[in-house]
Amino acid sequence: MLKKTTLALAGAALFLAWNCLLLLFLWSRPPSFPAPPEIPENSRHLPAQLLRLAQDAESELRLQRQLLLQIQLSSRLRRQKTPKPPQISTPAPDPDQFPVIPVLVLACDRSSVRRCLDKILLYRPSARRFPVIVSQDCGHAETAAVIASYGRAVAHIRQPDLSDVPVPPEHRKFQGYYRISRHYRWALGQVFRTFRYRAAIVVEDDLEVAPDFFEYFQAVLPLLRGDPTLWCASAWNDNGREGLVDTARAELLYRTDFFPGLGWLLLAELWEELEPKWPAAFWDDWMRQPEQRRGRSCVRPEVSRTMTFGRKGVSHGQFFDQYLKFIKLNDRFVPFTQMDLSYLKKDEYERFFIQQVYSAPEIQLEELQKGAGRDSGPVRLQYRGRDSFKVLAKALGLMDDLKSGVPRAGYRGVVSVVCRGRRVFLAPPSDWTGYDPSWS
């Protein structure tokens, strides 16, 4: 309003100044006609020159008034054609809607880390939302050169302590596991303490990721934040071999009491809990102990979103030739962020999953192997102790080892697989009361 008043006053002043100058000009200009003869002073007629000046001034004022009216009309029409847009307050973007989740890649002396990084960079939907941090241990020059070749596409950090870790004499051959645990602690500390991220995806340098790897983790992050009975989400299915999973149902997700690792998501709050007691070695098996798990579960997929190509390592290929190299990597994109995943919350999940397991008819292994009743729906194989579990797991082609009594990919003791084209639940009796840590 103040701006409009100022403009109106300025316009009026300009208009008056212009007319004053015009009158002065008209008064001072020479006559354009011969001077009339002298008229006596007492004449009743106005001088012709004065009359002409008055007429010219009146004409000019009329013209200026018309121009001013035209300017005002034009300005009014222009304001009507281009109305000022209403002032809309745009809310700031919600950081929870598009959270930043860094991918921490732990590397050592594998120059094949290129295979891992190439797929991560190929499939990530946003460099801003999914920054890649490669933490390198070992000081291996060739691997460092490969990481450096990505330039600003990745952040390259180096574990500074390359010395041997003091170990008990009986653990000298396990020096590598002590180094790995030290590296994990340092790298996770950098992510959560130094860089101050609130969540992170952890990947090792011998993993290849699926096309919907980032979509999966973006979708399950709100579950971890909202359900205190979950403490991680993993891209890995320990029993995800070809033939043991339903590739047509790649959207299926499960809760599991077994910590899978091999591409997993954790929150900063969990690291604050684990860091003070982080173990000197064998960190993954330590995570599977009851004292750390504390009754919590992880989310895992039917079809793995990672696969490992790292036969070489401190484990000397343990399980690789027999199981790991056969893991089926998902090859189609599942839009998890557009799906309702609330069924994975504990109460709702147990309501339908336990009912599904124990409503399935119990059959014997021999019936399943013969294919009797094939395509007639899910069935249940029941085990009653550690030994019977191992026998049935081996017969189905599953990994039969247990960690603190928990079977791989199991939930409440139940392992869900596909066998001969049908869903099979390897399950304890319905009156199951909990895991027995002595089972190993």
Query: In this predicted structure, what is the pLDDT of residue 14?
Result: 56
C-alpha distances out from residue 426 to 107, 342, 395, Å: 36, 25, 11
Residue in 161, 283, 171, 268 with CA at minimum distance from that of residue 221: 268
C-alpha distances out from residue 37 to 40, 47, 48, 92, 166, Å: 10, 10, 11, 85, 129
Check: CB of residue 182 under 8 Å from CB of residue 145.
Answer: no
Query: In this predicted structure, what is the pLDDT of residue 60?
Result: 52
Query: In this predicted structure, what is the pLDDT of residue 178?
Result: 97
Query: In this predicted structure, what is the pLDDT of residue 27?
Result: 46
Tell whether the model's pLDDT for residue 342 goes beyond 80.
yes
The per-residue pLDDT for range 236-252, each reduced to its tens digit, is 999 999 999 999 999 99
Express as a percent the part of the chain with pLDDT over 90.
72
Query: In this predicted structure, what is the pLDDT of residue 231?
Result: 98
Query: In this predicted structure, what is the pLDDT of residue 432?
Result: 96
Query: In this predicted structure, what is the pLDDT of residue 440?
Result: 83
Q: pLDDT class for 68, splitting at 50, 70, 90?
A: low
Could you tell me the two tokens for 362?
A: 């119990």
SS (H, E, C) 9-78: HHHHHHHHHHHHHHHHHHHHCCCCCCCCCCCCCCCCCCCHHHHHHHHHHHHHHHHHHHHHHHHHHHHHHH
Asked about 246 being catalytic, the answer comes back as no
Q: pLDDT class for 9, splitting at 50, 70, 90?
A: low
| Residue of higher predicted confidence among 36 and 289 | 289
Query: In this predicted structure, what is the pLDDT of residue 420?
Result: 86
Check: CB of residue 206 under 8 Å from CB of residue 326.
Answer: no
Tell whether the model's pLDDT for residue 30 goes beyond 70.
no
The per-residue pLDDT for range 33-53, each reduced to its tens digit, is 344 444 444 444 445 554 555
By mean pLDDT, which of 16-25, 96-105, 114-123, 293-302 is the weakest? 16-25
Query: In this predicted structure, what is the pLDDT of residue 310?
Result: 78
The per-residue pLDDT for range 314-324, each reduced to its tens digit, is 654 567 888 89
Query: In this predicted structure, what is the pLDDT of residue 43?
Result: 45
| Residue of higher predicted confidence among 103 and 81 | 103
Query: In this predicted structure, what is the pLDDT of residue 241?
Result: 95
| Residue of higher predicted confidence among 344 and 89 | 344
What is the SS3 assignment for 404? coil
Query: In this predicted structure, what is the pLDDT of residue 157?
Result: 98
Query: In this predicted structure, what is the pLDDT of residue 108?
Result: 97
The CATH 3.10.180.20 domain(s) of the chain lie at 360-440
C-alpha distances out from residue 230 to 267, 355, 368, 402, 405, Å: 11, 21, 34, 20, 19
Query: In this predicted structure, what is the pLDDT of residue 94?
Result: 52
For residues 263-273, average pLDDT: 98
| Residue of higher predicted confidence among 421 and 156 | 156
The CATH 3.90.550.10 domain(s) of the chain lie at 95-333
The per-residue pLDDT for range 175-215, each reduced to its tens digit, is 999 999 999 999 999 999 999 999 999 999 999 999 999 99
Query: In this predicted structure, what is the pLDDT of residue 433?
Result: 94
Query: In this predicted structure, what is the pLDDT of residue 35?
Result: 42
Candidate list 284, 321, 375, 387, residue with the active-site label: 284
Average pLDDT over the chain reads 85
For residues 84-103, average pLDDT: 60
Tell whether the model's pLDDT for residue 226 goes beyond 50.
yes
Specify the CATH superfamily of domain 95-333.
Answer: Spore Coat Polysaccharide Biosynthesis Protein SpsA; Chain A (3.90.550.10)
The per-residue pLDDT for range 403-423, each reduced to its tens digit, is 999 999 999 999 999 998 899
Tell whether the model's pLDDT for residue 372 goes beyond 60.
no
* Integer Cα distance of 263 and 237 in angstroms: 10
360-440: which CATH number, 3.40.50.450, 3.10.180.20, 3.40.50.300, 3.10.400.10? Answer: 3.10.180.20
Query: In this predicted structure, what is the pLDDT of residue 381?
Result: 98
Tell whether the model's pLDDT for residue 235 goes beyond 60.
yes
